[in-house]
């Protein structure tokens, strides 16, 4: 008569043998007592060559001496009925001498006062290869991306320089101004690009605190100025996405350009002030100059130039609002949600 225990035991060994992962059990003297079919295929040894033996054959030489000590420590670290797993990257050796990476889960159980260790092992050679391949591809991608950014930056700089050179050679004031305007628009994009692409990586967002003061200084710097411009900034610590920064940069470029072109004629004390606040998910940008002044209730319908029309378009692109306020000079307030 077959006992229930025997049925269970046969059933269990069938399960162990049909497992996809290698299963190896060791007795308390670290001799192999289970070496399943997947283990045979993984290591290239028949179970009969392993049973009753130590694991030495399937361990790399530098681990052979340490291995028993590691197992002993593993047994001591927990109470007798502790069942744990250790996950880590370890290595095995096949019968043909080939070393390969393994991922292992080791557990211990106590049977009749004897501690049995069982390791479930997975050959991760392919996975490692794929990971390395992936890493290589990512590095290559990164390199290409960097190269593209580098070239875009260089190209923008070339365009900017050409426009500046042309503006200094243009004979009519209108042509000069137009070329300086165009250079300013390129410059504002360059500043953003430069900021985003620092630290060898392309950032997806940027803090206004970092962006706006440089942007302002860069654009003001384009204009040949006799008396210095005082720039005051009070910028809240808030990061915006490139999607919002690009239109915002161009808007500010138009404001600053306008101040430089129209506001300060005949003025000695020249000042530009930019503030940025953030509250209730809303960014408020306040732009001011202390120039000759420009007051329009609705700048969209009254603007004759291209600059402020573009500002309106860009503000609606931000789903924001713009208004101007009466001051001694010019003041614009833009609000949009982050
Ligand atoms: N900060 C300012 N101070 C005084 N006047 C201004 C200021 N900003 C704009 N203006 C006036 O509003 C007009 C419209 O400005 P807008 O930027 O739309 O056009 P523009 O600067 O003349 O030309 P463009 O921007 O197309 O090069 C300007 O011509 C100028 O008269
Ligand atoms: Mg303008």
Structure-token pair, residue 235: 């910028």
**What are the phi and psi torsion angles at 179 (to 5°)?**
-70, -40
Q: For residue 136, give the 3-state DSSP assignment.
A: helix
How does pLDDT run across 34-84, given as a tens digit for each residue?
999 999 999 999 999 999 999 999 999 988 888 888 888 878 876 544 444
Give, using CA atoms, the residue closest to atom 22 of ligand 1. Answer: 305
CB 35 within 8 A of CB 41: no
* pLDDT at position 307: 87
* pLDDT at position 286: 97
Tell me how crowded residue 93 is: count the other CB atoms within 10 A of its CB: 19
Structure-token pair, residue 12: 């269990």
- How many Cα neighbours within 13 Å face the side chain of 24? 28
Q: For residue 125, give the 3-state DSSP assignment.
A: helix
DSSP 8-state assignment for residue 56: G
Tokens 């095995």 correspond to 92
* pLDDT at position 21: 92
* pLDDT at position 81: 41
* pLDDT at position 70: 80
* pLDDT at position 255: 94
Q: Does domain 4-123 have CATH number 3.30.450.20?
A: yes
Strands 239-241 and 99-111: unpaired
Structure-token pair, residue 165: 């050179």
**Domains 4-123 and 206-338 fall in the same CATH topology:** no
Tell me how crowded residue 66 is: count the other CB atoms within 10 A of its CB: 10
Structure-token pair, residue 241: 């996405």
Candidate of 294, 295, 309, 312 to mutate for ligand 1, largest count of ligand atoms within 8 Å of Cβ:
294
Question: Residue ranges per domain, the chain?
Answer: 4-123, 126-203, 206-338
CB 210 within 8 A of CB 237: no
Angle at 30 between CA 121 and CA 4, to 5 degrees: 75
- Which regions of the chain are under pLDDT 70? 1, 78-89, 199-202, 225-226, 295-304
- CA–CA gap between residue 330 and residue 175 (Å, rounded): 25
Structure-token pair, residue 188: 């504002």
Task: Give the atom of ligand 1 at the shortest distance from the alpha carbon of 259.
Answer: 1
Strands of 86-155 (E only): list them: 88-93, 99-111, 114-123
Q: Is 107 in the pocket of ligand 1 (CB under 6 A)?
A: no
Closest-CA residue to 188 (of 228, 160, 147): 160
Q: Is 262 in the pocket of ligand 1 (CB under 6 A)?
A: yes
* pLDDT at position 32: 96
Q: For residue 22, give the 3-state DSSP assignment.
A: strand
Candidate of 167, 253, 258 to mutate for ligand 1, largest count of ligand atoms within 8 Å of Cβ:
258
* pLDDT at position 85: 45
Closest-CA residue to 38 (of 24, 27, 58): 24
DSSP annotation string for 289-338 = E-SS----S-HHHH--SHHHHHHHHHHHHTT-EEEE---SSEEEEEEEE-
Q: Is 288 in the pocket of ligand 1 (CB under 6 A)?
A: no
Q: What is the CATH number of domain 206-338?
A: 3.30.565.10
Give, using CA atoms, the residue closest to atom 13 of ligand 1. Answer: 305
- CA–CA gap between residue 135 and residue 131 (Å, rounded): 6
The closest ligand to the CA of 328 turns out to be: 1
Closest-CA residue to 255 (of 279, 231, 236): 231
* pLDDT at position 200: 61
């Amino acid at each position: 008569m077959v006992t229930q225990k025997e049925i269970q035991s046969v059933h269990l060994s069938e399960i162990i043998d049909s497992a996809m992962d290698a299963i190896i059990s060791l007795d308390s003297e670290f001799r192999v007592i289970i070496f399943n079919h997947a283990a045979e295929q993984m290591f290239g040894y028949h179970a009969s060559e392993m049973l009753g033996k130590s694991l030495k054959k399937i361990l790399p030489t530098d681990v052979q001496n340490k291995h028993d000590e590691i197992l002993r420590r593993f047994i001591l670290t927990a109470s007798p009925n502790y069942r744990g797993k250790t996950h880590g990257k370890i290595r095995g050796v096949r019968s043909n001498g080939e070393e390969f990476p393994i991922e292992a889960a080791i557990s211990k159980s106590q049977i009749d006062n004897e501690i049995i260790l069982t390791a479930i092992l997975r050959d991760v050679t392919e996975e490692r290869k794929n990971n390395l391949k992936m890493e290589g591809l990512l590095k290559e991608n990164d390199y290409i991306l960097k190269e593209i950014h580098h070239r875009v930056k260089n190209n923008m700089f070339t365009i900017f320089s050409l426009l500046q050179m042309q503006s200094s050679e243009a004979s009519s004031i209108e042509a000069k101004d137009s070329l300086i305007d165009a250079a300013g628009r390129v410059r504002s994009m360059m500043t953003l690009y430069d900021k985003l692409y620092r630290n060898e990586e392309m950032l997806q967002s940027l803090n206004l605190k970092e962006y706006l003061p440089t942007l302002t200084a860069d654009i003001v710097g384009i204009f040949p100025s006799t008396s210095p411009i005082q720039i005051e900034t009070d910028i809240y610590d808030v990061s915006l996405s490139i999607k919002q920064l690009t239109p915002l940069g161009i808007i500010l470029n138009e404001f600053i350009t306008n101040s430089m072109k129209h506001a300060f004629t005949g003025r000695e004390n020249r000042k530009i002030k930019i503030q940025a606040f953030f509250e209730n998910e809303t960014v408020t940008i306040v732009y001011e100059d202390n120039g000759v002044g420009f007051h329009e209730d609705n700048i969209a319908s009254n603007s004759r130039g291209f600059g402020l029309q573009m500002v309106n378009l860009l503000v609606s692109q931000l789903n924001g609002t713009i208004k101007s306020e009466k001051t001694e000079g010019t003041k614009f307030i833009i609000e949009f949600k982050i």
